[in-house]
């Protein structure tokens, strides 16, 4: 991306929404080794919406706990601090971009379905590889295309030209973005993630989900999200702005060491979870 | 050599390709006749579909072989999504797996609608 393009984008997204104070406080608390489940519980129960969401999630079949969880402290103990932070981060981000124009709302809903599919796929692949941070992978999948939401809402004219090019020529959206805008949604997503002070790993995955081999220390996570993106498009879950399945990065595939036989199991798991989890995030 | 989702595989059919678990453990070699017991084992291991010998056309089954797109899942629109990437054998495997699962998903939805 050229320097002039970067400056122009930064100028246009200056009014980006900020994360709610509660989520920022929770993020700080999770990073504090002295914090207890009770400290976290006090902050969450202060916010009725977050409390309701948390209990709804922990009692959903997504987690599959055999007994009903009725207290926030119980949910924290069961899920762990990182999972709570990721959940609240996810649902709060969804709230930040209310689309008021009908066609933008439709595009956004399709994109969120795509993002949700990718999140579930990243978690399923991580589970298969015995990755120890499945919640982190879920959030990375959910936010990997956050740059497209910014384009839809803050750069509508450019985005309209990009989607027209995608429709007319059948190219990948990232190719059209690069050609018409000088940067891609991955570049814009990185800007937003940095502005929100999201963890470095999330910033890395958002920036490199199409070029995972270049993600350095986050190459594994970026490769997982890259593959989850391909699976989601192959299974037609939502829309990432074009109807094409992008090429697989060979280095990413070799890095993950997945056997072809794993593809079926991961896809089966993705489809089973998609409808269920969609119902409580929507 | 049609690929059938498991619900459509009948005892007595012959396997055209070996069946593996997702951890690449062999469940049944190619050329073996499929029995009721084999079907139960496939189900318990989460096998979604298998390739059988011969033609399944005309028996009402749901074929997903690239050469026999009976469900329409492997129609032009589906294939167009993979344009330009099928020189990679992994992408071919991804396309075929997606076709099998989409066919199964479509069938389940139809059954649900039928009962409502």
pLDDT for residue A79 is more than 90: no
Please give the pLDDT value at position A231: 97
| Residue B112 contacts A where some CB pair is shorter than 8 Å | no
What is the ipTM, given to two decimal places? 0.78
DSSP category for residue A216 = G
Whether A245 contacts A230, CB under 8 Å? yes
Determine how β-strand B26-28 pairs with β-strand B3-5: unpaired
How would you write chain B as a 3-class SS string? CCEEEHHHCCCCCEECCCEECCCCCEEECCCCECCHHHHHHHHHCCCCEEEECCCCCCCCCCECCCCCCCCCCCCHHHHHHCCCCCCCHHHHHHHHHHHHHHHHHHHHHHHHHHHC
User: Of A102, A202, A227, nearest to A146 (Cα)?
Assistant: A202
pLDDT for B60 = 44
Chain segment A137-196, per-residue pLDDT in tens:
988 998 899 899 888 888 888 889 999 999 898 888 999 999 998 889 999 899 888 877
Instruction: Give strand pairing partners of B3.
Output: B51
Q: Which of B42, B23, B22 is nearest to B32 (CA)?
A: B42
End-to-end Cα distance, chain B: 35
* Chain A residues inside the 8 Å CB shell of B83: 170, 244
Question: Which of B46, B71, B99, B105 is the best mutation test for A, with the most CBs of A within 10 A?
Answer: B105
Q: What is the pLDDT of residue B37?
A: 84
State whether residue B48 sits within 8 Å of chain A by CB: yes
Taking the C-alpha atoms of residue A161 and residue A143, their distance in angstroms, rounded to an integer, is 23
Q: At residue A36, does pLDDT exceed 60?
A: yes
Point out the residue among A246, A248, A264 whose CB comes nearest to the CB of B90.
A248
Cβ–Cβ contact B24 with A under 8 A: yes
Tokens representing residue B68 in the block: 């026999």
Mean model confidence pLDDT for chain B: 71
Contact A122, A140 (CB under 8 A): yes
Cβ contacts (< 8 Å) between A128 and chain B: which residues? Answer: 22
pTM for the model: 0.70
**Which residues of chain B does A268 touch, with a Cβ-Cβ cutoff of 8 Å?**
46, 48, 101
Look over chain A and give the mean of its residue pLDDT values, rounded to a whole number: 84
Residue A88 CA to residue A50 CA, distance in Å, equals 7
> Mean per-residue pLDDT for A230-257?
92
Residue B67 has pLDDT above 80, yes or no: no
84-103 of B, contacting A, C-beta below 8 A: 84-85, 88, 90-91, 93-95, 97-98, 100-102
Compute φ and ψ for B7, nearest 5 degrees.
Answer: -60, -25
- Answer whether residue A125 shows pLDDT above 90: yes
**A-chain residues within 8 Å CB-CB of B23?**
259, 261-262
Q: Does B114 touch chain A (CB under 8 A)?
A: no
Tell me the nearest-neighbour CA distance from B50 into chain A, angstroms: 11
pLDDT tens column, B30-39? 888 998 888 8
């Amino acid at each position: 991306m050229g320097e002039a393009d970067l400056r122009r984008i930064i100028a246009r997204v200056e009014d980006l929404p900020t994360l709610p104070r509660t989520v920022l406080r929770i993020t700080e608390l999770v990073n504090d080794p002295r914090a207890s489940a009770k400290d976290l519980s006090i902050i969450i129960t202060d916010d009725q919406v977050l409390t309701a969401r948390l209990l709804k999630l922990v009692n959903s079949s997504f987690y599959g706990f055999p007994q009903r969880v009725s207290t926030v402290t119980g949910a924290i103990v069961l899920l762990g601090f990182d999972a709570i932070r990721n959940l609240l981060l996810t649902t709060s981000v969804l709230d930040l971009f209310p689309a008021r124009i009908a066609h933008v709302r439709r595009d956004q809903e399709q994109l969120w379905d795509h993002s949700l599919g990718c999140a579930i796929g990243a978690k399923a692949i991580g589970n298969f590889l015995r990755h120890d941070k499945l919640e982190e992978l879920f959030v990375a999948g959910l936010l990997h295309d956050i740059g497209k939401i910014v384009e839809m809402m803050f750069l509508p004219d450019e985005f309209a030209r990009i989607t027209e090019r995608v429709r007319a020529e059948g190219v990948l959206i990232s190719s059209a973005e690069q050609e018409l805008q000088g940067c891609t949604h991955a570049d814009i997503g990185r800007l937003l993630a940095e502005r929100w002070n999201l963890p470095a790993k999330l910033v890395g995955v958002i920036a490199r989900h199409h070029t995972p081999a270049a993600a350095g220390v986050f190459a594994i996570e970026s490769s997982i999200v890259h593959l989850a993106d391909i699976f989601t498009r192959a299974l037609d879950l939502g829309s990432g702005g074009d109807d094409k399945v992008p090429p697989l990065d060979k280095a990413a595939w070799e890095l993950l060491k997945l056997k072809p036989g794993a593809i079926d199991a991961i896809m089966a798991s993705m489809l089973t979870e998609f409808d269920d989890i969609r119902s409580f995030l929507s | 050599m049609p690929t059938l989702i498991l619900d459509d595989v009948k005892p007595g059919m012959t396997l055209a390709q070996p069946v593996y678990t997702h951890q690449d453990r062999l469940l049944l070699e190619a050329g073996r006749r499929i029995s009721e017991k084999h079907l139960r084992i496939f189900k318990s291991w989460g096998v979604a579909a298998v390739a059988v010998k011969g033609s399944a056309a005309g028996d009402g089954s749901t074929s997903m072989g690239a050469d026999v797109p009976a469900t329409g899942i492997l129609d032009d629109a589906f294939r167009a999504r993979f344009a330009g990437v099928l020189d990679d054998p992994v992408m071919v495997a991804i396309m075929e797996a997606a076709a099998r699962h989409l066919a199964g998903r479509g069938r389940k939805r139809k059954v649900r609608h039928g009962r409502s």
